[in-house]
Amino acid sequence: MQKLVVNPGVTEGVIKAPPSKSYTHRALALALLSNGESEVINPLISGDTSATIEACREFGAYIVERRESVVLKGKNILDVPENVIDAKNSGTTLRIFTAISSLTAKGYTVLTGSRSLRKRPMAPLINSLNHLGVNAWTTKMNGYPPVIVEGGGIKGGKTGIRGDISSQFITALILASTKAKGDVEINVQGQMVSEPYIDMTIHMLREFNGELKRNGKKIFIPGDQELKGAKVEIPGDFSSASFILAAAALTRSKVKVKGLNFDFPQADMKIPGYLKEMGQKIRVNKENGWIEIQGCELQPGYFNLKETPDLLPVLAVLASKAKGKTVLEGVKHTRYKESNRLLCIAKELLKLGVKVQVEEDRLTVEGRGGLKGGLFESHGDHRLFMAFTVLALSLKTRSIINGPFTHRDSYPDFLTDLIKLKADLKEIVD
């Protein structure tokens, strides 16, 4: 088993944010569906995005991976994959390519992934594809992967889809519907979570000459669009940057994260404001793309994370060191991530003696000082692994993080960057 030994210490220095995983997925999928050649500059190459690159290859894209870019030539008619599409641990890959699989001329595509991924719901997306004239189902008929999709195209029409589980369903429908035979109207039902991720999809779609109209929860996508190859540069990732900023807050250190682009919508751009509310000294330079933090005593607060679910692990570990009660609401959909994040975070913080209360849509953390190191389980979840690692830097004694080093799914240089910031880490395998 892999283990990470984390000794208490400070973090200080300057780090460049890794490229955005979310934008990389979307750019690659759109390049596959576009006429001509596309170049994705500064892509994130990680476990999750590698799954998307391989999926594009299976559908017939010609791909050249260069040092700082990926060049991809799309297909008018997608090939039926020779192999099963292995999305590994990437929910975004699974959902996007389930919808794209319907665009092959004929035949069947099978999609699956890791044990964790096979626990993530697919029924809302499959039901919507069925409404649009696609034959798709799960092998066990239970709404969970593996998934089988018959090619032949999307006919078009109207479909409703739940908005309270994952915005990835809506993203998948938007991207694939640009190639539908007829127009598509998506009606999002109930609460819409992670809405900035839909804004991200729309932003990238327009880079490839795509069109849609949106009126609140109604999204209209003209069918049979001619997407055009594009040259796009992937911005730095605020989600990944949040862990470095949290490390500085927890250890009361000074750190600057550069390489961020405030013109590209990202849900987790809210992290500087959240940190400021928790008592941290924050400087933001949007023109030059950096955030600087001077860690101070952490203050408790109230945060609604309906639109920023990926910040739950970061804010939860920050809250564990903020004396008083921090309330994190709008988080019920985090149960459907790489792990049941609500329950797993609570379980690990309770080991430290932190009082935690889990409700349907809320996590309350009562932080305190004097926390000693412990043994954390990462639960196969990259964001939990990174959150517990930065928390461990601030504890009074050594800690161990158990489990695979899943940070490679989204932030391959996470441990390297922490070491650059003077963190004392040691990887061991037993």
Q: pLDDT digits over 281-308, tens only?
A: 999 999 999 999 999 999 999 999 999 9
Phi, psi of 93 (to 5 degrees): -60, -50
Give the DSSP letter string of 314-378.
Answer: HHHHHHHTSSEEEEEES-GGGGGSSS-HHHHHHHHHHHTT-EEEEETTEEEEEE-S-PPP-EEE-
- State whether 9 and 26 are in the same domain: no
Among 180, 209, 233, the domain-final residue is 233
Give the Cα separation of 395 and 70 in Å (integer).
41
Closest by CA position to 259, among listed 233, 286, 289, 284: 289
Closest by CA position to 178, among listed 18, 362, 30, 45: 30
Alpha helices in 45-193 (DSSP H): 47-58, 91-100, 123-131, 168-177
- State whether 255 and 364 are in the same domain: yes
Give the Cα separation of 110 and 293 in Å (integer).
46
CATH number of the domain enclosing 324? 3.65.10.10
In what helix (H) or strand (E) does residue 138 lie, and over which residues does it extend?
A: strand 136-138
Range of the domain at 189: 21-233
- Total domain count for the chain? 2
Alpha helices in 189-237 (DSSP H): 195-207
Q: Is 79 a catalytic residue?
A: no
- State whether 365 and 293 are in the same domain: yes
Give the Cα separation of 304 and 361 in Å (integer).
10
Among 218, 233, 248, the domain-final residue is 233
Model confidence pTM above 0.85: yes
Tens digit of each residue's pLDDT, the chain (430 residues):
799 999 999 899 999 999 999 999 999 999 999 999 999 999 999 999 999 999 999 999 999 999 899 999 998 899 999 999 999 999 999 999 999 999 999 899 999 999 999 999 999 999 999 999 999 999 999 999 999 999 999 999 999 999 999 999 999 999 999 999 999 999 999 988 999 999 999 999 999 999 999 999 999 999 999 999 999 999 999 999 999 999 999 999 999 999 999 999 999 999 999 999 999 999 999 999 999 999 999 999 999 999 999 999 999 999 999 999 999 999 999 998 999 999 999 999 999 999 999 999 999 999 998 999 999 999 999 999 999 999 999 999 999 999 889 999 999 999 999 999 999 999 988 7
Paired sense of beta strands 37-41 and 69-73, if any: antiparallel
DSSP-based three-state secondary structure for 192: coil
Task: Give the active site residue among 268, 310, 361, 381.
Answer: 310
- Position 61 scores a pLDDT of 97
- State whether 58 and 9 are in the same domain: no
- Burial level of 350, CB count in 10 A (0-12/13-18/19+)? exposed
- Position 76 scores a pLDDT of 84
- Position 34 scores a pLDDT of 98
- State whether 401 and 424 are in the same domain: yes
- State whether 179 and 245 are in the same domain: no
- State whether 269 and 188 are in the same domain: no
Please state whether the peptide bond connecting residue 146 to the residue before it is cis, i.e. omega within 30 degrees of 0.
yes
Among 233, 252, 279, the domain-final residue is 233
- Burial level of 265, CB count in 10 A (0-12/13-18/19+)? middle
Closest by CA position to 62, among listed 27, 98, 38: 38
- State whether 174 and 274 are in the same domain: no
- State whether 108 and 64 are in the same domain: yes
**Residues 6+ away with beta carbon under 8 Å from 215:** none
- Position 430 scores a pLDDT of 75
- State whether 143 and 247 are in the same domain: no
- Position 180 scores a pLDDT of 98
- State whether 304 and 365 are in the same domain: yes
Phi, psi of 36 (to 5 degrees): 90, -170
Closest by CA position to 162, among listed 134, 129, 137, 193: 193
- State whether 223 and 246 are in the same domain: no
